[in-house]
C-alpha cells in the first residue's frame, strides 16, 4: 500500500513539472506532462519500499491507516450519491481517503472536491459541511444511525516523507536524462529531509500513532533504547549517502 498519493507529489513538485498522461500540448494543457502517472506511481512504490525497509527495525510493516479525525454525517446518503454532508470539513482535502459508515456497514471513498459557494454580493466562500466524492457511493447511509465519516490517513510524518523521497527519485531520473548535473539540488534537499524524518522515527523522537511495534517476548519495545543510527546527520551527494 503506497504511503502517499499522486496529489501529495503534485503539491511538492514545482509548477513547471507536471504529472499526467498527456504527451503532446493541447489547448487545455499547453505543454506535455513531464512525468507519466505510471512512472510517478512506480516511484511512490519505490519510496514506500525503502521506508518499510528502514522502519521495519522497530515497527510492523506495512504500516496501517488510522482514523485520524471522525465527524458526524448530518444528512442521509442514497446509493450512487457523490454528495456527503458532514458536521465539519476542516479536516478534509481533495484526495483525502475517507470511510463512510453507519450501523449497517461502511465503505471507503476518496474526496473529489470541496465545493465553494457564492453568497450575496458575489463573494466566494468555502463551505463548512459539504464534500463530494470522486466516484459514486455504493450503499445508502443513515445519518441518524450513528452515521460517521472518518479521515483515514497514515500517521504523520509518513505521507510527506514518502512524497519527498519519491520526488527526489523522480528528480534524479529527470536530471540524468535532461541536465548536465546528474542529480538535482532540490532532489538532494528533499531526500535529506525525508531521511531526517526517518531518523527521527528510528531515534525515538517521533512515535507513529496507531502502529504496532516489534517487541521481545513478554517485554514491550518501548523499554529498550531506540535504534542506534550510524550518523546523526545524513547528506546526499550525487545520489550517494555520506556523513
- DSSP letter string over 95-157? T-EEEEEETTEEEEEEEEE--EEE-TTS-EEE-SSEEEESS--SS-B-TTTT-EEEEEEPPTT
Banded model confidence at residue 239, pLDDT cuts 50, 70, 90: very low
> Which 8-state DSSP code applies to residue 232?
S
Burial of residue 76 (CB within 10 Å: 0-12, 13-18, 19+) is middle
Calculate Rg over the CA atoms of the chain: 21
- Residue with the three cell numbers 546527520: 233
Mean pLDDT across 149-153: 94
CA 66 to CA 45: how far, in whole Å? 20
- Predicted pLDDT at 123: 73
Please give the model's pTM, rounded to 2 decimal places.
0.76
pLDDT at 25 over 70: no
Instruction: Please state the domain extents for the chain.
Output: 6-63+156-242, 66-153
- If one counts every other C-beta atom within 10 angstroms of the C-beta of residue 44, the result is 24
Runs of H (alpha helix) within the chain: 6-12, 37-55, 158-178, 185-202
Per-residue pLDDT tens digits for 159-177: 999 999 999 988 877 776 6
Q: Is 31 exposed, middle or buried (0-12, 13-18, 19+ CB in 10 A)?
A: exposed
| Average pLDDT over every residue of 65-79 | 94
Question: How far lies 219's CA from each of 48, 57, 206, in Å?
Answer: 29, 16, 21
Average pLDDT, the chain: 83
**pLDDT above 90: percentage of residues in the chain:** 51
**Considering the domain 66-153, what is its CATH architecture?**
Beta Barrel (2.40)
Q: Which has the higher per-residue pLDDT, 24 or 189?
A: 189
Which CB contacts under 8 angstroms, 24+ apart, belong to 92-95? 92/131, 92/151, 94/7, 95/5, 95/6, 95/7, 95/8
Amino acid at each position: 500500500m503506497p504511503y502517499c498519493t499522486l496529489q501529495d507529489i503534485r503539491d511538492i513538485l514545482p509548477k513547471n513539472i507536471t504529472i499526467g498522461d498527456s504527451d503532446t500540448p493541447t489547448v487545455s494543457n499547453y505543454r506535455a506532462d513531464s512525468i507519466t502517472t505510471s512512472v510517478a506511481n512506480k516511484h511512490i512504490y519505490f519510496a514506500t519500499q525503502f521506508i518499510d525497509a528502514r522502519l521495519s527495525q522497530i515497527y510492523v510493516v506495512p504500516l496501517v491507516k488510522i482514523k485520524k479525525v471522525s465527524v458526524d454525517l448530518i444528512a442521509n446518503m442514497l446509493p450512487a450519491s457523490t454528495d456527503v454532508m458532514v458536521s465539519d470539513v476542516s479536516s478534509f482535502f481533495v484526495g483525502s481517503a475517507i470511510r463512510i459508515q453507519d450501523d449497517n456497514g461502511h465503505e471507503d471513498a476518496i474526496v473529489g472536491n470541496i465545493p465553494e459557494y457564492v453568497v450575496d454580493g458575489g463573494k466566494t466562500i468555502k463551505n463548512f459541511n459539504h464534500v463530494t466524492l470522486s466516484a459514486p457511493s455504493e450503499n445508502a447511509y443513515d445519518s441518524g444511525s450513528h452515521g460517521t465519516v472518518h479521515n483515514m490517513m497514515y500517521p504523520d510524518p509518513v505521507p510527506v516523507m514518502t512524497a519527498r523521497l519519491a520526488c527526489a527519485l523522480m528528480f534524479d531520473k529527470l536530471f540524468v536524462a535532461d541536465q548536465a548535473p546528474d542529480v538535482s539540488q532540490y532532489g538532494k534537499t528533499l531526500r535529506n529531509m525525508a531521511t531526517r524524518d526517518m531518523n527521527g522515527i528510528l531515534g525515538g523522537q517521533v512515535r507513529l500513532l496507531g502502529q504496532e511495534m516489534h517487541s521481545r517476548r513478554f517485554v514491550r519495545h518501548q523499554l529498550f533504547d531506540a535504534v542506534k543510527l550510524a550518523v546523526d546527520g545524513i547528506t546526499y551527494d550525487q545520489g550517494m549517502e555520506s556523513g
